[in-house]
Amino acid sequence: MFYNTTETPIALPGGPRRGTFRRVVTVIFIALIVGMIGGIVGSIGATHPLAMRWVPDGFYGVQQAGTQTSLYQGIGGVVYGQGVPPSEPLSAVKITAQSIGTPGALPLNSAGAVFQEAGPAVVQVIISGQTRGRRTPTASGSGVVVDERGYILTNYHVVAGANQIVVLFSTGDREAAQILGTDRGNDLALLKVNLPSDIPVTRLGDSDQVYVGEVAIAIGSPFGLAQTMTQGIISAVGRDWHTGSSSFQDLIQTDAPINPGNSGGPLLNANAEVIGITSMIESPIAGSVSIGFAIPINKAKVLLPQLETGAHLQRPWLGIRGMNVDQALAEEQGLTVQHGVLVTRVVANSSAAKAGIQGASGRNTYAGDVITAFEGQRVAKLTQLIELLSQYQPDDAVRVTIVRMDEVVDVYVILQAWPDA
């Protein structure tokens, strides 16, 4: 409990004492002097060049320290560890347009200027699907307008299995969309809509020029919240990222917060150019921990002509999980080679399984086959196997060289297309 300790002053006979009056005058005089000095210092600080360098171009500089993030290694079907692919939320889908605002003039290359230019071209992709004859709840992702003909680029996993697709524009307009083309292996899809006349087309940048430390801005619909912008930097380039059934190479890594629902939206640079399509996050929780990945826009630009024609591109799938072999692993597992990919698991009914490739077995303590060559080309690690595999098509027959125990064996594999799930 608080008590009021204020006391009522008692008036002294004959008015206030002279000493008191002098003290009051002195306090007032000191206060005036301090105020004048503060005003002078403030005006100097506001105009001094150093005071204008803290936030160049409207962006906050970020410097990261510490060790490099360790990522899961593997291949579309060749994986160890566990990744958590993003899934779009099945609730809280916003179908009301969010105002992007119209602030006054903004400095060139500021985050606000990027949002004003690129934001209106970012859309919310709302889907409903059908599973085992029953309609699934509504889910949402993001997309970006890349052509005045009404072409919208998004992720394959956003629209996979969709029975109906509706695109919500920043203006509040809603249009039905159809899937024009897909590339499951690169997690890209191209949609076609009747584009409202007041919706702009984004400018596509050059992802080969992206550098670590560069400003990165993501716009999308995380958790159904349309027209949400987040900002960070480019954390790394050329990343490989893998899950139990998927593998992606040469990704852009960013610490700009990316959450479920951002998938398919653009990652932009300070010039409002699209440098990537946000696709996935690495997170032990259902939210952002500042490790997000985007598909380089240059990869999408190469594929767009094929997707426009209605192509549904497929990549071959080997169907194994594995890990890089080095000297330490070879000694630990008693392997006779110190390079290649150790097969830790073979997916049932996959290309590898049908060809007789063997994974680890706990019953006989067999570590697994080691893939050392692919079509006669030496394989030292998983990324090389990924690259070699990507040069072939489903139904191609390839020669895979393995080391089993002390024996070198050539196995002939008929490649399958990636499974839908």
Catalytic hit among 140, 207, 247, 263: 263
CATH 2.40.10.120, the chain: domain bounds: 74-313
Is 263 an active-site residue?
A: yes
- 74-313 is a CATH 2.60.34.10 domain: no
Superfamily of domain 316-417, CATH level 4: PDZ domain (2.30.42.10)
* Pair 191, 181: CB distance under 8 Å: no
Catalytic hit among 157, 240, 246, 279: 157
pLDDT of res. 264: 97
Question: Along the 421 residues of the chain, how does pLDDT read in single tens digits?
Answer: 333 332 323 333 334 444 555 554 555 555 555 455 444 434 433 333 222 222 122 222 222 222 222 232 222 223 222 223 333 333 333 334 444 445 555 555 588 999 999 999 999 999 987 555 566 667 899 999 999 999 999 999 999 989 899 999 999 999 999 999 999 888 999 999 999 999 999 999 999 999 999 999 999 999 999 999 999 999 999 887 766 556 677 899 999 999 999 999 999 999 999 999 999 887 666 556 788 999 999 999 989 999 999 988 888 889 888 888 999 998 888 898 999 999 988 988 999 999 999 988 765 567 889 999 999 999 998 878 877 887 898 999 999 999 998 899 999 999 998 776 4
SS3 labels along the chain: CCCCCCCCCCCCCCCCCHHHHHHHHHHHHHHHHHHHHHHHHHHHHHHCHHHHCCCHHHCCCCCCCCCCCCCCCEECCEECCCCCCCCCCCCCCCCCCCCCCCCCCCCCCCHHHHHHHHHHHEEEEEEEEEECCEECCCEEEEEEEEECCCEEEECHHHHCCEEEEEEECCCCCEEEEEEEEEEHHHCEEEEECCCCCCCCCCEECCHHHCCCCCEEEEEECHHHCCCEEEEEEEEEEEEEEECCCCEEEEEEEECCCCCCCCCCCEEECCCCEEEEEEEEECCCCCCCCCCEEEEEHHHHHHHHHHHHCCCEECCEECCEEEEECCHHHHHHHCCCCCCCEEEEEECCCCHHHHHCCCCCECCCCECCCEEEEECCEECCCHHHHHHHHCCCCCCCEEEEEEEECCEEEEEEEECEECCCC
Catalytic hit among 140, 142, 183, 187: 187
Is 339 an active-site residue?
A: no
pLDDT of res. 317: 85
Residue 290 burial by CB count (10 A; 0-12/13-18/19+): exposed, middle or buried?
middle
pLDDT of res. 116: 93
CATH 2.30.42.10, the chain: domain bounds: 316-417
pLDDT of res. 249: 77
